[in-house]
Structure 1
Amino acid sequence: MSFEEAGKLTSDILLSYADDAAAQERTLAQPWAQTMQQVTEGRVATVNGTELIAAVSPPTVLSLTWGIDAYLEALAAAVK
Structure 2
Amino acid sequence: MRLTRSNPIFGVNNKTYRIPFATEELFREQSFIGERAILGKIADVLGAYEDLGTVEELRSMKCELSKLKGGN
With normalisation by structure 2, the TM-score equals: 0.27
Structure with higher strand content: 2
With normalisation by structure 1, the TM-score equals: 0.26
Name the structure, 1 or 2, with higher relative contact order (CA <8 Å, separation 6+): 1
Larger Rg, first or second structure (1 or 2): 2
